[in-house]
Structure 1
Amino acid sequence: MTYTPKRWIRLGLGAALLGTAGLSACGGEGGEAGETAIASPAGAAQSGEMAGEMGEGEGGEGAVAPLDPALLVPVDQRAAMIASEAAVGAALSRAGERDAAAGHFRLAISEIKPGGLSRLVEKGLDPDLFDAAVEALEDGAGPLETETAVAAVETNVDELQANAGGDTVELIIFLMKRCENAYRSGVTFSNEIDNPVAYQKAWGYAVTAQELANKLDPEEASGLQLELKMLVLMWPAEGPVSGDVPAPPSTFLSQLSRIGLELSTLE
């Protein structure tokens, strides 16, 4: 097994050490900030995005307006984030959790201000389809109408990701960092879900990373594909549904470290 220094730098030493830094940070305190077992492949963009997502709001007179996060994050990464939210929305919709599903479809778009949508729309994003899915879920549309609206979003997300492009391995690293951050925020070290939305987001990042990995050559990425499959299996087959007992954070971080090791072997 060959380990690429470039990958080690981007993954972070913690990925090889079972996410030790992550273990001490678990418990939901600090949200999605702090050290992670898998480091971001685009630190500056990630920092800007987090500042945008956590610091949005109306400023006082003379205050500098916060930058739109969509202008700070590369299109391929933003597309992957939207795909993750859409995956959660679709899974929860099919599990009958309509309100939670609508919330994730709304989150997929609402975190991006109107001015930041243009790059994504150019790549095929159709925000109206997300609005239609939210409307169907919240207005009590029938199963067929709801599923049609949800499936339309999924098709649109596939188109968006195909057009946005990006390096698959780098996108998986990006998603794994966000998955870890969300899990930390959602699950306490005593193994309780104290932020359901963050816990659901973590599943979305994991399953989107798995889908990306499955597009890689199995001869080169079979180990990564297996480890991502094992990560997704930490949630129920239906997705991040209510009533689930989460995997212990130590188990979750240990699995992330194995994914990190596999990622480090890929060019």
Structure 2
Amino acid sequence: MSFTPRNLVRFGLTAALLSTTALAACGGESGEAAGEAGESAAISENQDTAAMSGEDEGEMAGASGEMGEGEGGEGEGGEAGGHDTGSLERHNRLAFMRGHVEAGLALYRAGAVEPASVHMMHPVSETHAAEREGLDELGFKSNLFVNISEALEAGTASDEIESQLKEAEENLADMADQAGGDPVEILDFLMETTLEEYRIGVVDGEIVNAGEYQDAFGFVRVASDYAADLEGEDGDAVRAELARLQAMWPEAPVPGSDPAPVSEIAAQVARVQLELSGLR
């Protein structure tokens, strides 16, 4: 059997991920630490092997590899990775906001009104104004999101305003088409942000920050939309791995959800990014 550079990437990543699984099975504190070490090895192997793949496969970002300016997990005051989201390129800022809205809408439709209202503040509050810089010219329907936020505050059932919720999703999708940007780069940003926020949200197998756990869910949901138009077998492979990643959350990330281990999320994010490498 002949091995292409891409096959070698997969071989190295698979070996590292199998090592992660075996080490984590040891149990206890030592098993958990070993699992984290294996996770890091998987990501490192993913990055290092891709760097050797040359022009045939292009460069590949690892699950915790290079991040663009201001990219990462959300912090207080609408920050991503400790940086002002206003410093992100507009298409990434929009993707970031879409992730929060997607999480909020999923929670709202599942009847989790209080956590939904927090995520739905991103399109309307002054705290998150930097995220919305330059979005009006893309056709942002700010009044629509204000109406949804007010309905949440009033305790209105989601099915009573479902048409508005769908309109909001369509508005953001149309804006994304207008904003442009390289979908592969946007997907990498979303994957990196997903993993960073998940690591904040889940510690030692428990949800310690429900908002960040929910954010990660929303970023994966939105990533599926950005991946919809990827072409060829590589595009199909990206969508398949994203579907597997999405399946690691419940239908909606409601309070009391049973989270997947961080190491498993990290491994699946790495698989998504591996498939993205074929599109560079």
Into which bin does the TM-score normalised by the smaller protein fall?
A: 0.7 to 0.9
Aligned-partner Cα distance in 1 for 2:211–2:237: 30
Which residue in the other structure is 1:38 paired with? 64
Gaps of 5+ in 1: 27-35, 56-66
Alignment of 1:125-204 (within 5 A): 125-188=140-203, 190-204=204-218
Q: Of 63, 73, 77, which residue of structure 1 is paired with 2:88? A: 73
- Contact 1:14–1:38 (8 Å) recurs in 2: no
Secondary structure at the residue paired with 2:243? helix
User: Post-superposition shift, 1:84?
Assistant: 0.8
Secondary structure at the residue paired with 2:64? coil
Q: Of 90, 93, 115, which residue of structure 1 is paired with 2:108? A: 93
- Contact 1:92–1:239 (8 Å) recurs in 2: yes
Inter-CA distance 170–50: structure 2 relative to 1 (3 Å threshold): farther
How many residue pairs match? The answer is 236
Aligned-partner Cα distance in 1 for 2:221–2:193: 12
1:211 is aligned to 2:225: yes
Inter-CA distance 167–111: structure 2 relative to 1 (3 Å threshold): farther
Secondary structure at the residue paired with 1:243? coil
Inter-CA distance 14–50: structure 2 relative to 1 (3 Å threshold): farther
**More displaced 10-residue stretch of structure 1: 126-135 or 169-178:** 126-135
- Contact 2:63–2:191 (8 Å) recurs in 1: no
Secondary structure at the residue paired with 1:119? coil
Secondary structure at the residue paired with 1:161? helix
User: Post-superposition shift, 1:101?
Assistant: 1.2
Name the amino acid aligned to 2:85. Answer: P
**More displaced 10-residue stretch of structure 1: 153-162 or 169-178:** 153-162
User: Post-superposition shift, 1:247?
Assistant: 0.7
Name the amino acid aligned to 2:266. Answer: L
Deviation per residue, 1:107-136 (Å, 9 max, x gap): 344376547644111112222222211110
- Contact 1:81–1:108 (8 Å) recurs in 2: no
Deviation per residue, 1:26-81 (Å, 9 max, x gap): 9xxxxxxxxx7332452x3438x9798459xxxxxxxxxxx9632x1111001111
Inter-CA distance 244–118: structure 2 relative to 1 (3 Å threshold): closer
- Contact 2:94–2:131 (8 Å) recurs in 1: no
User: Post-superposition shift, 1:219?
Assistant: 2.5
Q: Of 115, 121, 144, which residue of structure 1 is paired with 2:136? A: 121
Which residue in the other structure is 1:241 paired with? 254
Name the amino acid aligned to 1:46. Answer: E
Gaps of 5+ in 2: 21-32, 40-61
Deviation per residue, 1:175-209 (Å, 9 max, x gap): 00000001000001x21101000000000111111
Aligned-partner Cα distance in 2 for 1:129–1:99: 19
Aligned-partner Cα distance in 1 for 2:92–2:249: 24
Higher-Rg member (1/2): 2
Aligned-partner Cα distance in 2 for 1:73–1:111: 18
1:250 is aligned to 2:270: no
Which residue in the other structure is 2:24 paired with? none
- Using structure 2 for the length normalisation, give the TM-score: 0.72
Inter-CA distance 194–74: structure 2 relative to 1 (3 Å threshold): same
Aligned-partner Cα distance in 2 for 1:130–1:40: 33
Q: Which has the higher contact order (CA 8 A, sep 6+)?
A: 1
- Using structure 1 for the length normalisation, give the TM-score: 0.76
Secondary structure at the residue paired with 2:199? helix
Q: CA RMSD in A?
A: 3.5
Deviation per residue, 1:150-169 (Å, 9 max, x gap): 22321211121111111010
Name the amino acid aligned to 1:38. Answer: S
User: Post-superposition shift, 1:252?
Assistant: 1.2
Aligned-partner Cα distance in 1 for 2:96–2:198: 15
1:259 is aligned to 2:272: yes
- Contact 2:191–2:219 (8 Å) recurs in 1: yes
Q: Of 236, 252, 267, which residue of structure 2 is paired with 1:222? A: 236
User: Post-superposition shift, 1:226?
Assistant: 0.7
Inter-CA distance 50–140: structure 2 relative to 1 (3 Å threshold): closer
